[in-house]
Amino acid sequence: MTWSFSPESMATRIVCSRLLFLGTTESTNLVARQLAEEGTPEGTVVLADCQTGGKGRLGRPWLSPPGVNFYGSVVLRPAVLPRKAGQITFITSLAAAGALRDSFSVEAQVKWPNDILLNGKKIGGVLNELCASQEKINYLVLGLGVNLNMTCDQLPERELFPATSVMLEQGEAVSRELFARNYFQLLDRLYFRYFEEGFSSLRKEWESYCGMIGRRVDMDAEGRSVSGEVLGIDEEGFLLLRGQDGREERLLSADIRLIHD
């Protein structure tokens, strides 16, 4: 894999303070966590051409073939209480959707809590991992995988949500480097905006990128089925849903399917 950017060329304040480019690795999150344990500076980025053990929520595999996609992780050490870390994770999906829009003029959207969609299909996923005691974050790793140039036969066969890539939607191959640069620059700006303006500013932007607001969904939430209309997210990032009985619910973890009327 050839990447031509360097920390000096990125014009970022923290993200990409150190850059590590890997060929094949088990998982960029795993490497980022090891580096974080060893005291790597905040903003360290790990990029890989291929992952042999990429994973998503609850250990679900994330297919990561070589030469086609983006797989990257960032180490952050925000000076906030661990219970605020959930707010910061929304910058991952927001930066990914924003970078897709900026790089390829596509209408990428976000899906709660942290997926990235294109034309209603899943194009990217995140896995954020926190190491903290009750009062202090030791480190936070923001991991992102985005399907850029995956072909049909490379896509996962059985997924909870239909998947796609930018190339499949646009009909031509796109630049991984362009996406990576835009993603890291946007992530850096959003990270600082979180501290300067608070979560409410990010929340509004995230909601404007979310195609699910006002839509009806089916959810498997913490072991029970819930149906209702998506209202938005609250100050802590929980999903607000109006159930069929008219009552509002706050959800913090769920698999969501859109209902197509």
Partner 1 sequence: MDVKELKKIIDMVTDTDIVEFEMENSDQKIVIRRGRLAGDISVGYKSAVQAEQVAVAATSPPGQEIPPQTVATAVEGTKDGLEKIKSPIVGTFYRAPSPDSPSYVEVGDVVEKGQVFCIVEAMKLMNEIEAEFKCRVKEILKENAQPVEFGDILFHVERI
Write out the residues near partner 1 by the rule CB under 8 A: 14, 42, 57-60, 76-86, 89-90, 112-114, 126-136, 191-192, 194-196, 198-199, 222-223, 236-238, 252-253
Separation of alpha carbons 67 and 134, rounded Å: 40
Q: How far is the CB of 232 from partner 1 (least distance, A)?
A: 14
Which string of DSSP letters, residue by residue, matches 196-213?
A: HH-HHHHHHHHHHTBTTT
Distances 181 to 177, 235, 253, 256 between C-alpha atoms, Å = 6, 29, 31, 30
Q: How far is the CB of 89 from partner 1 (least distance, A)?
A: 5
The continuous run of DSSP H or E covering 91 comes out as helix 85-104
Nearer to partner 1 (CB atom), residue 21 or residue 238: 238
Nearer to partner 1 (CB atom), residue 112 or residue 209: 112
Half-sphere exposure of residue 217: CA atoms within 13 angstroms, side-chain side: 25
Q: How far is the CB of 67 from partner 1 (least distance, A)?
A: 27
CB < 8 Å & 24+ apart, contacts of 114-118: 114/89, 114/90, 115/161, 116/146, 117/211, 118/164, 118/166, 118/169
Q: How far is the CB of 23 from partner 1 (least distance, A)?
A: 26
Separation of alpha carbons 70 and 50, rounded Å: 9
Angle at Cα 148 formed by Cα 237 and Cα 162, nearest 5°?
Answer: 65
Nearer to partner 1 (CB atom), residue 46 or residue 68: 46
Nearer to partner 1 (CB atom), residue 66 or residue 243: 243
Q: How far is the CB of 124 from partner 1 (least distance, A)?
A: 12
Nearer to partner 1 (CB atom), residue 94 or residue 167: 94
Nearest alpha carbon to residue 95 among 133, 45, 23: 45
Q: How far is the CB of 68 from partner 1 (least distance, A)?
A: 23
Nearer to partner 1 (CB atom), residue 196 or residue 245: 196
Nearest alpha carbon to residue 91 among 198, 10, 5: 198
